[in-house]
Amino acid sequence: MSVWAILVAAGRGERLGSDQPKAFAKLGELPLLAEPLRRLDDSEWIDAVVVVAPPGWEEPAILLAEEIGAGKVRASVPGGETRTDSVRAGLAEVPEDAAVVLVHDAARPLVTDAVVERVLAPLSEGWDGVVPGLPVSDTVKRVGSDGAVEETVSREGLWAVQTPQAFPVATLRRAVQSGADATDCSGLVAAAGGRVKVVPGDPLLLKITTAADLARVASLL
Ligand code: C5P
């Protein structure tokens, strides 16, 4: 069974306040992209990797892969306007005979082999997708644009989901071709009628949005 990983790194990252796209902002000595790329490349569960780079940054992404010795990278392609467009571009590089695809946000650099294993394992039970998640522990409010609390939402059964997310390749292909949009791939698969399972995520799979997030993740390297 061959497992391909798509590393989506084409976000502009405007909230980071960097001149460069988020994937090429410095995390320690190297661009942020290097950390999740090295970790996916090192994973014993992953056979091949496709990088979805910010448009115009496909070549620097390949050079970075060479610099860190990420030998499983098969392609570096430009991303699209939305995350879903970027996933679609990455999937186009995954061959027909691949069985499973794992989609991971480059913005979550601290991916581990343990979480990769946790999302891959239940696919053999027939799930259409498996995602890592953490139960929401904060109290959740719906807030209006004027800052007024409109509702306290029960957190019973609420989970915050992360990446990497795993799917049978054909299932994700059908979901991205449906024309729907979502902020994660499991949303696309669920909208197409798929059954998605949540497994325990990892609190260290922090998503880098701001410069403070970047500093926090750098301190955890
Ligand atoms: O924008 P958001 O924080 O949801 O992005 C999550 C991941 O998706 C990031 O790794 C980002 O680089 C990627 N992305 C992308 N193409 C886009 C938007 C986001 O590859 N157009």
pLDDT tens-digit map of 173-192:
999 998 888 999 999 999 99
Mean pLDDT of 136-159: 96
What's the 161 CA to ligand 1 centre distance in angstroms? 15
Query: Is residue 193 pLDDT above 90, yes or no?
Result: yes
At 70, list the tokens: 């990420």
User: Is ligand 1 within 6 A of the CB of residue 6?
Assistant: no
Ligand 1, atom 5: nearest CA belongs to which residue?
11
Report domain 3-220's class.
alpha beta
Mean pLDDT of 190-199: 96
Which residue, 161, 173, 166, is CA-closest to 46? 166
Query: Is residue 13 pLDDT above 90, yes or no?
Result: no
For 152, phi then psi, to 5°, come to -95, 120
Cβ neighbourhood burial of 185 (10 Å; 0-12, 13-18, 19+): buried
Lowest mean pLDDT among 3-7, 14-18, 86-90, 165-169: 14-18
The β-bridge partners of 135 are: 159
What's the 179 CA to ligand 1 centre distance in angstroms? 18
Query: Is residue 208 pLDDT above 90, yes or no?
Result: yes
Atom index in ligand 1 nearest the CA of residue 207 equals 3
Evaluate whether 176 touches 101 at the Cβ level (below 8 Å). no
What's the 81 CA to ligand 1 centre distance in angstroms? 9
pTM of the full predicted structure? Answer: 0.96
User: Is ligand 1 within 6 A of the CB of residue 185?
Assistant: no
Atom index in ligand 1 nearest the CA of residue 23 equals 12
How much is the pLDDT for 34?
98
User: Is ligand 1 within 6 A of the CB of residue 105?
Assistant: yes
Report strand pairing: 165-168 vs 100-105.
antiparallel
- 149: alpha, beta or left? (left if phi > 0; alpha if psi -120 to 50): beta
Residue 138 — pLDDT band, cuts 50, 70, 90?
very high
Atom index in ligand 1 nearest the CA of residue 108 equals 10
Radius of gyration over every alpha carbon of the chain, rounded to an integer in angstroms? 17
Give the SS3 label for residue 163. Answer: coil
Cα→Cα distances 95→2, 30, 87, 90, Å: 10, 30, 14, 11
Containing H/E element for 58? helix 58-68
Evaluate whether 158 touches 95 at the Cβ level (below 8 Å). no
Ligand 1, atom 21: nearest CA belongs to which residue?
82
User: Is ligand 1 within 6 A of the CB of residue 86?
Assistant: yes
Give the SS3 label for residue 108. Answer: coil
Q: Which amino acid appears at position 6 of this protein?
A: I
